[in-house]
Amino acid sequence: MQQQQQEDEQQQPWRMEEDDDAEIGYIDRAAENTLEQHKRVLEEFERKREARGIVVPVDDAQVRKQLRKRQVPVTLFGEDAYDRRERLRLILALELEKADKEEEEEEQRRTTGTSKVLGDEKHTETFYTEGTARLRAARKEICIYSLHRAKERIAQEKRRIQALRAFSEQEKDKIDKDDFELASAWQEERKEFIKSAQYMTVLSSQFGDERPITGIRFAPNQQLVATCSWSGNIRLWNVSDGNERTVLQGHTERVSSLAFSPRPVSSRCFLLASAAADNTARLWTIDCNDCSVQKTWVLRGHTARVTSAEFHPSGKYLATASFDHTWRLWDVETRKELVVQEGHSKPLYKVSFQVDGSLAISAGADCGARLWDLRTGRSVASFLGHGKPILTVDCSPDGYHFATGSEDHSIRIWDIRKKRCVYTIPAHSALVSHVEFHENGHFLLSSSFDKTCKLWSTQGWVLIKALIGHEDKVMCCNASRDGRYIASCCYDRTWKLWGVEKSLSQEEDNGLWCDGDRMETQDGFL
């Protein structure tokens, strides 16, 4: 019997074990069970929020009369006068919700009928302001760069989706060998990450500054962590032992955000950008070996606090958001301002680039996000839905989703193609301070003032792991490029490194730069 099973396995090289399938897909099955649960929680939350603004009679006799009028039970078991009054409030909220829907439907029918009879007589006029030659060259370069990136991403995504669909439909004989290897490697990587994430714990905790730490980022070589704080200082730390390497001083006010360039300045140096409340952003060229600052430049132009700095995927441009209601695009090589983009009515908190580099998304205190086409300068779409200011935004590596985190405690997932919210995660019990998609596409990372960081599966938006250990508000978090470690910083002036408990001494300090599929070391490229 055992010999026959071995022969069957040799005849079916594409067969996957049932146990592995179960492990790979258990998050997906759990997602189906949580979709309706999340939807019910959000609907109930909105209904109670609206009910709080409805005026109901104080007299219990009048409350009973209103309930009897609506042909519902006048009293329930164990219900007192206050509970009865709250029940009437919820009933009135449901009636208002139903009336609003009927009114919207009637208005839509009336508008549709009128437009068919009279035709569309609305005329709009678009005004354009001529830009500089430098801006025109930058837009052209962004267009060429994004087209190549989009072509490669879409081709690879199509191959992976076709292979995964063949897996699910039990048509493995139709899978190309290369496609099978691609899909198998992706699923295996996802399965391993989900397994390891369950055992993530605090590897180290460090006192980072004299004032609250506001931002944290892993360096491209994954050997260093950078933190910034309200003291105006930026500090670099070793990942392996948590020791401080150097302090970068230059800002005169609170530093709000950090970002590392995706491309190296040279074989030994990388570029760091910082944004601060002194109305400036700074660029720092840092040596990989001794962490010394080679050069620094100041970017001036904003008239109010600069809240974030983010590099374009090409590494040639930098976007900064500010409380002056604008975001600006800078040329990294010349340190010149290319464009000042208006469009928001209140202060901006964050700007993020789409993975191909063709689009930018800005969000702020006006509770909305705007999508901008960097190739033309146009505002493509507006995304409204949050009830409070949006504090953070990040784009998914799939190219058409992005996530926003807000003061309303929720994370919303938006689809650029549909131009609407496709899912709302009731993520935290306090405001969401940071959201971040990992470049492997397996998870979304979030932090909150409820003292936690959370990892969410991008398939179904199910909670994978909650990182609990901070004693105060978590200001920011960041995952390493390989997804093995997560760094988070807190209002209590500490930062923590999270990962699977094992010896970090196995990480040899010989990698200076990771870029795509190659690693630059002292001996050259691997």
The Cα 432–Cα 390 span in angstroms is: 9
Are residues 504 and 255 in contact, defined by beta-carbon separation less than 8 angstroms? Answer: no
Instruction: Inform me whether the pLDDT recorded for 21 exceeds 70.
Output: no
pLDDT at 445: 96
Residue 115 pLDDT greater than 80, yes or no: no
Higher-confidence position of 442 and 3: 442
Q: Residues 6 or more apart from 55 whose CB is under 8 A from it?
A: none
Give the domains, in start order, of the chain with CATH numbers.
Answer: 53-109 (no CATH), 200-500 (2.130.10.10)
87 pLDDT above the threshold of 50: yes
Average pLDDT over residues 495-504: 79
Residue with tokens 């001083």: 249
CA-to-CA distance for 145 and 435, rounded, in angstroms? 26
Give ∠ CA 287-290-293 in degrees, rounded to 5: 45
Farthest-apart Cα atoms in the chain, separation: 86
pLDDT > 60? residue 511: no
Q: Specify burial of residue 455 (Cβ count, 10 A radius: 0-12, 13-18, 19+).
A: buried
Q: What is the pLDDT of residue 366?
A: 92
Helix (H/G/I), strand (E/B), else coil: 99: helix
Single out the residue of 426, 403, 17, 443 nearest to residue 195, CA to CA: 443
Q: For tokens 């439907």, what's the residue?
A: 105
Low-confidence winner among 49-63, 139-153, 204-218 (lowest mean pLDDT):
49-63
Place of tokens 């993530």: 200
Q: What is the mean pLDDT of residues 474-502?
A: 92
- In this predicted model, what pLDDT tens digit does every residue of 243-272 receive, in sequence order? 999 999 999 999 999 999 998 888 788 999
The count of C-alpha atoms lying within 13 angstroms of the C-alpha of 327, restricted to the half-sphere facing its C-beta, is: 31
* pLDDT score for 169: 60
Q: Which two tokens stand for residue 135?
A: 């801006």
Instruction: Indicate whether 12 pLDDT > 70.
Output: no
Mean pLDDT of 481-494: 93
Query: Which percentage of the chain shows pLDDT scores above 90?
Result: 52
For tokens 């897996």, what's the residue?
167
Question: Strand 244-248 and strand 255-260: pairing?
Answer: unpaired
Pick from 84-88, 116-120, 198-202: least confident:
116-120
Tens digit of pLDDT for each residue in 269-282? 899 999 999 999 99
Tell me if 253 sits within 8 A of 274, measured CB to CB: no
pLDDT at position 513 = 39
Average pLDDT value over all residues in the chain: 82
- Tokens standing for 406? 């807000």
Residue 326 has which token pair? Answer: 């604008």
Q: Who has greater pLDDT, 161 or 220? A: 220
Query: pLDDT at position 84, please?
Result: 86
The pLDDT value given to residue 248 = 93
* pLDDT class of 520 with cuts at 50, 70, 90: very low
pLDDT band at 167 (very low <50, low <70, confident <90, very high): low
Per residue in 397-417, pLDDT (tens digit) is 999 999 999 999 999 999 999
- Rounded mean pLDDT of 463-469? 94
The residues, any chain, with a CB within 8 Å of residue 52's CB and separated by 6 or more, are: 89
For 195-239, how does the pLDDT look when each residue is reduced to its tens digit (9 = 90+)? 888 899 999 999 989 999 999 999 988 889 999 999 999 999 999
Q: What pLDDT does residue 65 have?
A: 87
Check pLDDT > 80 for residue 83: yes
- Model pLDDT, residue 185: 77
| Residues 410-433, mean pLDDT to the nearest whole number | 94
Output the pLDDT for position 17.
41
Task: Please tell me the number of Cα atoms within 13 Å of 437 on its side-chain side.
Answer: 25
pLDDT computed for residue 47 by the predictor: 66
- pTM, to two decimals: 0.72
What pLDDT shows up at residue 23? 44
CA 26, CA 137: separation in Å to the nearest integer?
Answer: 49
pLDDT at 173 over 70: no
CA distance 396 to 481: 14
CA 127 to chain centre: 33
Rg (CA), the chain: 27
pLDDT given at position 108: 76
In the predicted model, what is the mean pLDDT of residues 309-329? Answer: 95
